[in-house]
Amino acid sequence: MDSLLPRERSEPAPGAVHLPGWLSLEQQRELVVACRGWAAGPVPMRAASMPNGSMMSVKTVCLGWHWQPYRYTKTADDAGGGQVAEFPEWLAQLGRDAVTAAYGGTNSYAPDAALVNFYDDGAAMGMHQDKDERSPAPVVSLSIGDSCVFRFGNTETRNKPWTDLALESGDLFVFGGPSRFAYHGVLKTQPGTSDPALGLKGRLNITLRETGLTATRD
């Protein structure tokens, strides 16, 4: 949604940077098309099952490494067993550009896994840490489509202190350094706020990560 006042860059915690409207509309449209392709296979987009048997309300497809609560594998053992799609170099470059936009300077960020999350009306994600990676490299988060209320907390507990912020279409959020393992979650999306020009109903979020894992030979 277009705000009356420009939304400003903010740093809700040390190492956590929100850059509103970082992606152009054209980049967002291209990412929607790419996500449609990834959602179609070779591994289907699916709601992951939690260890307690409940299903996430968010649907996910992965690139580079397949994630399921709480591990990474090269094959989608809980989603048909197929080989996870390749992580494209252009997406790694977008990740490096994002890290530069957040922290300045140059970087050698080399993300090798992406989680493509789709939120339909009513989907949400509870407070959690992204901690299945064996690398301290930042997480890059790109949001497209419906706005959401994103909660960014602290590294100690899933409770306060936290900051609630709106992630809107095109927004970049990077969390690294002292905030890399901070709890965070999506309280709710705001259905119907997606720009019709995107051709997307709902919300997409793409997180890029360095797993720090090495693939074993088949």
Ligand X SMILES: O=C(O)CCC(=O)C(=O)O
The contact set with ligand X (CB under 6 A) reads: 115, 117, 125, 130, 141, 143, 150, 167, 184, 186, 205, 207
User: With CB cut-offs between 5 and 8 Å by kind, which of ligand X, Fe ion, none does residue 78 bind?
Assistant: none
87 binds, among Fe ion, ligand X, none (CB under 5 to 8 A by kind): none
Shortest distance in whole angstroms from residue 186 CB to Fe ion: 9
Rounded to a whole number of angstroms, the minimum distance from the CB of residue 217 to ligand X is 29
Could you tell me which of 161, 137, 126, 146 has the C-alpha nearest to residue 191? 146
- Contacting residues toward Fe ion, per CB under 5 A: 130
Cα distance between residue 68 and residue 70, in whole Å: 5
- Phi and psi dihedrals of 206, rounded to 5? -115, 120
What is residue 24's DSSP assignment? Answer: -
Q: From the CB of 141, what's the least distance to ligand X, in Å?
A: 5
- Report the distance separating Cα 100 and Cα 19, nearest Å: 12
Residue 150 contact among Fe ion, ligand X, none, beta carbon within 5 to 8 Å by kind:
ligand X
Q: Name the residue number minimizing CB distance to ligand X.
A: 205
In the bound state with Fe ion, the residue whose beta carbon lies nearer, of 189 and 195, is 189
**Please, what is the minimum distance in Å from the beta carbon of residue 130 to Fe ion?**
4
Supply the DSSP string of 86-140, one letter for each residue: P--HHHHHHHHHHHHHHH-S-------EEEEEEE-TT--EEEE---S-S--PPEE
179 binds, among ligand X, Fe ion, none (CB under 5 to 8 A by kind): none
Q: What is the CA 144 to chain-centroid distance, rounded?
A: 10
Q: Per DSSP, what are the bridge partners of residue 16?
A: 13, 175
Closest to ligand X by CB, 92 or 144: 144
